Amino acid sequence: MKPTLLILAAGMGSRFGGLKQVEPVGPNGEAIIDYSIYDAIRAGFGKVVFIIRESFADAFKEKFDKKLYGKIEVDYVFQELDMLPEGFTLPEGREKPWGTAHAILCARSAVKEPFCALNADDFYGFNAYKAMAKFLTESKNPTEYAMVGYKLNDTLSEFGSVSRGICEVDKELNLKKLLKQLKLLKKTAKLFLLKMMEVKLNLPGTKMPR
């Protein structure tokens, strides 16, 4: 069974000022998502599920349906603020989308295969998808989870601060602790660099979809 790529793309892009998930960045109008899907197909993924707002549907289908036809199975699920588990209510005035866990919850009916989730506007590189596909297809433990880690220095920006999940692992690379660090600047991150800690960019994977 080929794994599924779950793309989190319901963000509003308020700081960017538009739908950055499909904003062209490549020489032929490619968005970052295009590179992610291309690498995922090469790595062995067989399906892509876009988690979007319903208001984004036309823009996404216009951009991806035709170009992905015959290359990989495509599905869409909607993430809206009021899609909450029983017993929960939407706080008054809430406009910002819920996070990763809520996005994956919204996709539960569309994903029946081992899968990994990623942010639509992050570039991960082919080796990340290759490693994740290998785990998702070869792991024999149905309750085993994994994520892709990067050296912190490779994820810092020359153009401002970033937020990162700082990972502490043991000798077998099992995750012991995850600490979210806000406003990391390249010139002030020496403490973390000296420790050579790994950093999490949102690319978790699991063998057991719910």
pLDDT at residue 46 in the model: 97
When pLDDT is cut at 50, 70 and 90, the band that residue 144 belongs to is confident
Structure tokens at 4: 């599924």
pLDDT at residue 15 in the model: 58
Nearest one of 90, 29, 33 to 56, comparing CA atoms: 33
Q: Kindly state the average pLDDT of the residues 125-138.
A: 94
Q: Kindly state the average pLDDT of the residues 151-164.
A: 86
Distance of CA 105 to the CA centre of its chain: 14
Of the candidate ranges 10-24, 90-104, 186-200, the one whose mean pLDDT is the lowest: 186-200
Confidence check: pLDDT of 196 > 60: no
Q: Kindly state the average pLDDT of the residues 132-149.
A: 90
CATH architecture of 4-206: Alpha-Beta Complex (3.90)
pLDDT at residue 209 in the model: 56
In tens, the pLDDT along 36-54 reads: 999 999 999 999 999 999 9
Confidence check: pLDDT of 189 > 80: no
When pLDDT is cut at 50, 70 and 90, the band that residue 166 belongs to is confident
Distance of CA 89 to the CA centre of its chain: 26
Query: Higher model confidence: residue 208 or residue 66?
Result: 66
Of the candidate ranges 108-122, 125-139, 180-194, the one whose mean pLDDT is the lowest: 180-194
Write down the pTM of the prediction. 0.85
pLDDT at residue 50 in the model: 96
When pLDDT is cut at 50, 70 and 90, the band that residue 201 belongs to is low
Are 68 and 74 in contact, with CB atoms under 8 Å apart?
yes
Q: Domain segments of the chain: what residues?
A: 4-206
